[in-house]
Amino acid sequence: MTDRAAETPADVAAEEGDVLVEGPGGIAYSFTPDAALETSERLLTGGMEAKGQRLQRDLAYRSNGNRKG
């Protein structure tokens, strides 16, 4: 886990046939529709995987007699 992971979701808009993504810290990307769809699938997969990793970490922490606080 990184300390620099953004907690604020990016804004997304479709303009003139492209997909524009504006995120925290002033980052901005422009994607073709196909690239945006593939990126969204990769983000969803990565998000689910990372969420699972955090759940496993929390369960391991609790199984060692710790309390989440």
CA distances from 62 to 3, 16, 42, 48, 53 (A): 23, 50, 30, 21, 14
DSSP, res 8: S
User: Tell me: the pLDDT tens digits for 49-66?
Assistant: 999 999 999 998 888 888
Using CA atoms, how far apart are residues 35 and 3, in angstroms rounded to an integer? 28
CB 64 within 8 A of CB 58: no
Alpha helices (H) in 1-69, listed in sequence order: 33-63
Using CA atoms, how far apart are residues 41 and 49, in angstroms rounded to an integer? 12
pLDDT per residue, tens digit, the chain (69 aa), is: 667 899 999 999 999 999 999 999 899 999 999 999 999 999 999 999 999 999 999 998 888 888 765
Q: What is the pTM of this model?
A: 0.77
